[in-house]
């Protein structure tokens, strides 16, 4: 039984992609705790690894304001996107302007999508006087090696005839020259930190095209074309800058955006979840906590090895605080006992149709019910 004395529980889930935002998932967990265990004290901590919710997580930790501007979506259509201002620091997430959820499934095509809108957000921040930029990579719909983003900042990519190419995946293999003469002048004073928790390299069998392009709508033929274009672009960057992208970890993030930032904007890559947890003073807040509850849409073998859940687990284990993970689903064939969480619960299994499992109301109700009915088995862990 859950004791009558108050227990302090940190609630820090990732988003349940396609269903609930991280904030909505946290609200559902806290609601379940309050309904079932009125004496517990839930404390929400906004987290992100650099993808969706990164701006909100940093603003929640540091304070600041949101700025909304009209930019281009991955198809080049106008869309409203927001970024954060924390003093003189701009906090930008790629997903806001170039994210996969901005497209219908039939629109997903990484040969054609562009990161131009992300560059427009950066340009707006530079025009407002920001010189420190914190950029979260994750959730992108693009594989343009950052050429779209750079084009919005004044870079020009030219074909063999000197014509300016559109920044997209299909253009990569056609680039013959890179012209930086018209780059935004403020870039010379700007400092970029890029939040990235994937170790994907720029190209090759473990590179961005092979690893992530299929999730963005690429057929096998498209993957081969994107891979060839990425290798060609890496060769061009090496020739012009001396920076070898091919096997550098993290450069393949967001369809090669990681490489564009490091090689052409001088960015430093950093762990997104660690940046967020440090900003939120997570280690200090673990002191005196009895339990941490986290979660994500699908828990698989990678959940304890990268991104949000792994970062939370690593910090909590160091403090001796048990961690419960709640997943929309647990990957087929994966035993919850194989994961290093104190407990691991799934909201549904393969018998529940995706159409139902992804509905926000269903997910919210299942989270509340899971907290109320299944978590009592965990209370012996915390006394």
Q: What is the mean pLDDT of each run of 10 residues along the chain (383 residues)?
A: 64 88 92 86 90 91 96 97 96 96 94 98 97 95 98 98 97 97 97 91 94 95 98 96 91 96 96 92 94 89 74 94 90 74 85 82 92 68 56
Distance between CA atoms of residues 169 and 113, nearest Å: 7
Tell me, what's the pLDDT at 276?
93
Distance between CA atoms of residues 95 and 364, nearest Å: 23
- Count Cβ atoms below 10 Å from residue 377 Cβ, excluding itself: 11
Distance between CA atoms of residues 58 and 275, nearest Å: 9
Q: Is 356 helix (H, G, I), strand (E, B) or coil?
A: helix
Tell me, what's the pLDDT at 291?
92
Q: What pTM was estimated for this model as a whole? A: 0.90
Beta bridge partners of 119: none
* Full set of structural domains in the chain with CATH: 8-47+281-382 (3.40.50.10350), 54-272 (3.90.1510.10)
Helix (H) or strand (E) holding 296: strand 291-299
The strand pair at 65-72 and 78-86 is best described as antiparallel
Tell me, what's the pLDDT at 4?
44
Tell me, what's the pLDDT at 355?
81
Residue with tokens 């020259």: 177
């Amino acid at each position: 039984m859950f004791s009558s004395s108050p227990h302090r529980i940190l609630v820090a889930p990732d988003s349940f992609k396609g269903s609930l935002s991280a904030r909505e998932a946290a609200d559902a967990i806290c609601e379940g705790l309050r309904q079932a265990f009125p004496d517990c004290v839930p404390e929400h901590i906004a987290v992100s690894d650099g993808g969706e919710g990164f701006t909100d997580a940093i603003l929640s930790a540091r304070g600041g304001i949101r700025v909304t501007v009209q930019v281009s979506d991955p198809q080049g259509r106008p869309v409203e996107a927001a970024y954060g201002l924390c003093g003189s620091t701009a906090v930008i997430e790629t997903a806001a302007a170039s994210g996969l959820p901005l497209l219908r499934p039939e629109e997903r095509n990484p040969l054609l999508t562009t990161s131009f809108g992300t560059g427009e957000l950066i340009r707006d921040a530079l025009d407002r006087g920001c010189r420190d930029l914190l950029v979260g990579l994750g959730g992108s719909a693009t594989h343009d090696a950052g050429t779209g983003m750079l084009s919005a900042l004044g870079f020009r990519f030219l074909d063999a005839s000197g014509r300016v190419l559109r920044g997209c995946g299909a253009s990569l293999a056609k680039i013959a020259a890179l012209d930086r003469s018209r780059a935004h002048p403020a870039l010379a004073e700007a400092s970029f930190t890029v939040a990235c928790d994937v170790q994907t390299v720029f190209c090759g069998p473990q590179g961005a095209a092979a690893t992530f392009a299929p999730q963005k709508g690429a057929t096998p033929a498209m993957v081969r074309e994107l891979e060839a274009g990425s290798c060609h672009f890496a060769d061009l960057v090496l020739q012009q800058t001396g920076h070898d992208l091919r096997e550098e970890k993290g450069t393949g993030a967001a369809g090669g955006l990681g490489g564009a930032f490091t090689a052409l904007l001088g960015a430093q890559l950093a762990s997104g979840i660690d940046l967020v947890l440090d900003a939120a003073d997570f280690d200090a807040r673990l002191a005196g906590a009895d339990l941490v509850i986290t979660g994500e849409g699908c828990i698989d073998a990678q959940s304890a090895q990268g991104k949000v859940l792994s970062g939370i687990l690593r910090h909590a284990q160091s403090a001796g605080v048990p961690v419960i993970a709640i997943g929309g689903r647990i990957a087929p064939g994966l035993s919850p006992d194989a994961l290093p969480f104190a407990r691991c619960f799934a909201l549904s299994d393969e018998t529940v149709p995706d159409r139902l499992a992804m509905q926000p109301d269903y997910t919210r109700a299942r989270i509340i019910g899971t907290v109320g009915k299944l978590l009592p088995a965990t209370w012996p862990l915390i006394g």
